[in-house]
């Protein structure tokens, strides 16, 4: 039982490049989330998906897109990366509004 798996763990991009962060969970959770964490800013919600087939904007959605591919997978895409998107990204999942489980994070640097 792997829990929440994020890939890649580290990534360096040049400004303007695109990439997709992958997230998969094997706990049959219906809700999935993407957060970014910056120093002194806590965790800020980018997008979330309360159930398969639905996605909603969080606090800081600009510059990102998401896809809930199926119940297990929720990907985050940066179409044209900017230095302001340098951050640590966390994926999380849970059943309904219950206990939240996090992945180990992706460190992204945009040069």
Partner 1 sequence: GIQVEQSPPDLILQEGANSTLRCNFSDSVNNLQWFHQNPWGQLINLFYIPSGTKQNGRLSATTVATERYSLLYISSSQTTDSGVYFCAWTNQGGKLIFGQGTELSVKP
Shortest reach from residue 12's CB to partner 1, in Å: 18
Q: Which is nearer to partner 1, 59 or 79 (CB)?
A: 59
Looking at the chain, which runs of residues are DSSP E strands? 4-7, 10-13, 19-25, 31-38, 42-49, 56-57, 65-68, 74-78, 87-94, 101-102, 106-110
Tokens of 89: 């990204």
- Candidates 19, 44, 60, 72; binder of partner 1 (CB under 8 A) is 44
- Candidates 56, 69, 79, 84; binder of partner 1 (CB under 8 A) is 56
Q: How many helices (H) and strands (E) does the chain have?
A: 0, 11
- The answer to whether residue 38 forms part of the interface with partner 1 (CB under 8 A) is no
- The answer to whether residue 42 forms part of the interface with partner 1 (CB under 8 A) is yes
Q: Which residues bind partner 1 (CB under 8 A)?
A: 31, 33, 35, 40-45, 48, 50, 56, 58-59, 88, 90, 92, 96-102, 104-105
């Amino acid at each position: 039982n792997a829990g929440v798996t994020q890939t890649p763990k580290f990534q360096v991009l040049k400004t303007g490049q695109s990439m997709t962060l992958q997230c998969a969970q094997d706990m049959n959770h219906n809700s999935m989330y993407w957060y970014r964490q910056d120093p002194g800013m806590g965790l800020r919600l980018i997008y979330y998906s309360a159930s398969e087939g639905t996605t909603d904007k969080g606090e800081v959605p600009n510059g990102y897109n998401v896809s809930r591919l199926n119940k297990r997978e929720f990907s985050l895409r940066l179409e044209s990366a900017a230095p302001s998107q340098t951050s640590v990204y966390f994926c999380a999942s849970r059943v309904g509004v219950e206990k939240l489980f996090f992945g180990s994070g992706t460190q992204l640097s945009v040069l």
